[in-house]
Amino acid sequence: MKNFWYACEFSFAITNKPKQIMILNQRFVLYRNSQEKIIALKDQCPHRGAALSLGWIQNDCIHCPYHGWKFRSDGQCIEIPSNAPGIPIPKKASVDSYPVQEKYGFVWLFYGDLPATQCPPLPTLPEYMISTMHPVYDEGIDNANYARLMEANLDFTHVIAVHRKSFGQRIPRNKTISYKVEEYDWGAVAKVNYESLGNSKSFLNLLLGGRPELKTRLSLYLPNVTLAEISIGRGNRFDIKFGILVAHLPIDDKTTLVKRVLYRNILPLPWLDGFFRKLDHKLAQEDTVVVATLGSQSMPKISEELHVAADALDITFRRLIQKHSNIDSQNYPINKSSQPVQVG
């Protein structure tokens, strides 16, 4: 799925020093010019194939670390130090350049072959979360397939087992979870409300004056972003909110660079960021430990595994992958209604 905008890096991580980005074994180099605009080029010099990301920036141009060839921001070579002035530069002495955008604290890279007018739009994230909640950033390498990791983040019921030692034991069990999936061209969203987080006399129970309820909204934004919105409260008051925005950058089929932003409205004090970062990282690793053991790291076709009603959002994700990868959808029609996805 190359004809999409990939969330590939945090905006603050791109400076006037070259930085390499890997997407499915392809190398890209990103840097900022003197106007703070991000430049994205193929990270491979056409001369001997050296990584330009090991080079240096001078006058908004990038120099190859091997022989010093100089490339403009559009990828065209304009200087070969070993040639005397006046010697023509070969026409093939250029590297591909790519469009980038910055939004929601991420850099978005498009390396497909569609014209600009046909590119899918960037996702629209909830304004309340971006403008009013406190963000905490984290990243790490997971030894698992990016789509499989995304599928875990779109799964309403894995918390009962995967997170049973953290917060999963507080989710009601032995109840059929069925919900509506709202699907659009480049993503999907679904909501599940849990009756109660449990009977224990926990901090949350005392803070909210009784057993709190849990509202969860999971969103998919192709090709590599998921968002979990979590609200905790009672009655008409859901005062505690979290947002977990995750960009899954596929380095190869079995390796993913995961970049996470945890938004919160509770205790938004910078000196507590470390605590919430560790908590979010711990919960994410509980997913990774299991996902890394899956028999097939590549995403199976829908018909190759069993499904229940609670898998509706994951099935929609697989349909969208098949749709945009030109793979047969195994006779599962794309569901664009608000009705629950029917599964066996």
Quickly tell me which residue has 């509706």 as its tokens: 312
The whole-model pTM stands at 0.89
Q: What is the pLDDT of residue 334?
A: 35
The CA-atom distances, in angstroms, between 272 and each of 60, 204, 263, 275 are: 39, 18, 13, 5
Within 8 A by CB and 6+ apart from 78, the residues are 61, 70, 71, 72, 89
- How many alpha carbons lie under 13 Å from residue 104 in its C-beta half-sphere? 26
Q: What domains lie within the chain, and their CATH numbers?
A: 6-118 (2.102.10.10), 127-324 (3.90.380.10)
Distance (Å, whole) CA 32 – CA 52 = 14
pLDDT of the residue at 328: 36
Residue 214 confidence (pLDDT): 82
Tell me the CA distances in angstroms from 143 to 41, 205, 244, 258, one per residue in order: 27, 37, 20, 10
pLDDT at 220: 98
- For residue range 274-321, list pLDDT tens digits in order: 999 999 999 999 999 999 999 888 888 888 899 999 999 999 999 999
SS3 148: helix
Cis peptide before 223 (omega within 30 of 0): yes
How far is the C-alpha of 94 from the C-alpha of 100, rounded, in Å?
19
How far lies 8's CA from each of 19, 24, 30, 256, in Å?
Answer: 11, 12, 10, 11
The answer to whether the beta carbons of residues 312 and 295 sit under 8 Å apart is no
DSSP sequence for 1-62: --SS-EEEEEGGG--SS-EEEEETTEEEEEEE-TTS-EEEEES--TTT---GGGSEEETTEE
Point out the residues of the chain with pLDDT beneath 50: 327-344
